[in-house]
Structure 1
Amino acid sequence: MDNGSVKQIVVLYPVGGVGHVGPMTQLAKIFLDHGFDVTMVLIEPPIKSTDSGADFIERVAASNPSITFHVLPPIPTPDLVATSPKHPFLLILESMRQHNGTLESFLRSIPRPRLHSLVIDLFCTHAIDVATKVGVPVYKSFASGAGTLAVFTQLPALLAGRRTGLKELGDAPLEFLGVPPMPASHLGKPLLEHPEEELCGATMKILRRNASTRGVLVNTFESLESRALRALRDPRCVPGQDLHPVYAIGPLIGKAGTGGEGHECLAWLDAQPQRSVVFLCWGSKGALPKQQLEEIAGGLESSGHRFLWVVRTPAGSDDHKTYWERRGEADLDALLPEGFLERTKDRGLVIKTWAPQVDVLNHPATGAFVTHCGWNSTLEAVAAGVPMLCWPLAAAEQKMNKVFVTDEMGIGVEMEGYREGFIKAEEIEAKLRLVLECEEGRKLRERAMELKKEAEEAVQDGGSSGAAFLQFLSDVKNLRE
Structure 2
Amino acid sequence: MAKPTVVSLPVWGAGHFMPMIEFGKRLLRASGGALSATVLLMPAPTPQQASLIADHVRREEAAAGDDIRFQRLPDVELPTDHTGIEEFISRVVRSHVPHVRAAIAGLERPPAALVFNIFCTPALDASRELAVPTYVYFTSAGAMLALFLRTPALDVEVAVEFEEMDGPLDVPGLLPLPASALPDTMLQRKKSTYEWYVYTGRRYMDVTGFIVNTAAELEPSVLAAIADGRCTGGIAAPTVHPIGPRSGHRFLWVLRGPPEDSRHGTRDPTDATLDELLPEGFLERTKGRGLVWPTRAPQADILAHAAVGGFVTHCGWNSILESLWFGVPMLPWPLGAEQHMNAFTLVAAMGVAVPLEVDRKRGNFVEAAELERAVRSLMGGGEEGRKAREKALELKAICRKAVEESGSSLATFEKLTEEIFWTNTKNESVKPNKSR
Alignment partners' CA distance in 1, 2:296 and 2:424:
45
1:110/1:313 CA distance change after superposition, 3 Å = closer
What secondary structure does 2:310 align onto? strand
Equivalent residue for 2:316? 374
Alignment partners' CA distance in 2, 1:362 and 1:140:
30
What secondary structure does 1:174 align onto? coil
2:152 to 144, 147, 156: 156
Report how far residue 41 of structure 1 moved.
0.8
Alignment partners' CA distance in 1, 2:410 and 2:82:
45
1:430 and 2:431 matched: no
Equivalent residue for 2:38? 39
Alignment partners' CA distance in 2, 1:319 and 1:99:
21
What secondary structure does 1:181 align onto? coil
2:105 to 105, 108, 115: 108
1:359 and 2:304 matched: no
Report how far residue 142 of structure 1 moved.
0.5
Equivalent residue for 1:264? none
1:160/1:379 CA distance change after superposition, 3 Å = same
How many residues in Structure 1 have an aligned counterpart in Structure 2? 413
1:130/1:463 CA distance change after superposition, 3 Å = same
Alignment partners' CA distance in 1, 2:294 and 2:179:
35
2:352 to 411, 415, 424: 411
Equivalent residue for 1:96? 93
1:297-376 correspondence to structure 2 within 5 Å: 304-313=248-257, 326-331=270-275, 335-376=277-318
Report how far residue 161 of structure 1 moved.
5.6
Alignment partners' CA distance in 2, 1:44 and 1:314:
22
Query: Deviations along 1:275-331, whole A, 9 cap, x unmatched?
Result: xxxxxxxxxxxxxxxxxxxxxxxxxxxxx211111122368x998998878514231
Equivalent residue for 1:443? 387
Unaligned runs of 5+ in 1: 254-303
Report how far residue 220 of structure 1 moved.
0.2
1:22 and 2:23 matched: no
Alignment partners' CA distance in 1, 2:328 and 2:144:
22
* Residues 382, 455 of structure 1: 8 Å contact kept: yes
Report how far residue 224 of structure 1 moved.
0.8
Alignment partners' CA distance in 1, 2:134 and 2:36:
17
Alignment partners' CA distance in 2, 1:215 and 1:319:
32
What secondary structure does 1:422 align onto? coil
Report how far residue 382 of structure 1 moved.
0.5
Percent of matched pairs sharing the same residue = 38
Alignment partners' CA distance in 2, 1:198 and 1:336:
37
1:460 and 2:404 matched: yes
Over the aligned positions, Cα root-mean-square deviation in angstroms equals 2.6
Query: Deviations along 1:79-124, whole A, 9 cap, x unmatched?
Result: 4446x56655434323322222221222122246x42211112221
**TM-score, length basis structure 1:** 0.79
| Matched AA of 1:347 | R
Alignment partners' CA distance in 1, 2:91 and 2:280:
49
* Residues 93, 123 of structure 1: 8 Å contact kept: yes
Query: Deviations along 1:26-49, whole A, 9 cap, x unmatched?
Result: 21232132233222112115x434
1:210 and 2:210 matched: no
Equivalent residue for 1:383? 325
Equivalent residue for 1:301? none
Which structure ranks higher in relative contact order (CA pairs < 8 Å, sequence separation ≥ 6)?
2
Report how far residue 141 of structure 1 moved.
0.9
* Residues 50, 325 of structure 1: 8 Å contact kept: no
1:124 and 2:120 matched: yes
Alignment partners' CA distance in 1, 2:128 and 2:255:
47
Report how far residue 361 of structure 1 moved.
0.3
Query: Deviations along 1:212-239, whole A, 9 cap, x unmatched?
Result: 0011011100111111111111122112
What secondary structure does 2:16 align onto? helix
Equivalent residue for 1:178? 173
* Residues 148, 197 of structure 2: 8 Å contact kept: no
**TM-score, length basis structure 2:** 0.87
